[in-house]
Amino acid sequence: MPDGSYGGMPAGLLIVTPDDRRIYVAGDTALFTDMKLYKGADLFIVPIGDNFTMGPRDAMEAVRLVAPKDVVPCHYNTWPLIEQDGAEWAKQLQHQVSGTNVHALRPGGLLELL
């Protein structure tokens, strides 16, 4: 943590809903090749903050590995150290990775997936 205290191990979660939808929340992780094990997730929530987590480039590669139906960037713009342009990242991702819908939500925003 910024004050030097231990913040715990970074981890991600794979959530499987009762109707068998798979949601992969990368949490505070960095890019790693085993993300391909989650290939085809329905929703991928991926950090783009680039400090303490993966940044925009690595997050783009993570999306390529996971190839989700939908993706939401997270862990950015909550304080100056992790400022990123989520809308620009979404725009670039949409051009570089086909078949994935990108949703750069505003704080407090909702996403309804049918």
Pairing state of beta strands 22-25 and 101-102? unpaired
| pTM for the full predicted model | 0.90
Edge-first strand listing for the sheet containing 43-47: 13-16, 22-25, 43-47, 70-74, 101-102
Q: Mention every residue, 6+ apart, whose C-beta is less than 8 A from residue 109.
A: none
pLDDT by position in tens, the chain (length 114): 778 888 788 889 999 999 999 999 999 899 999 999 999 999 999 999 998 899 999 999 999 999 999 999 999 998 899 999 999 999 999 999 989 999 999 888 999 987
Q: How many helices (H) and strands (E) does the chain have?
A: 2, 5
Domain extents in the chain: 42-76
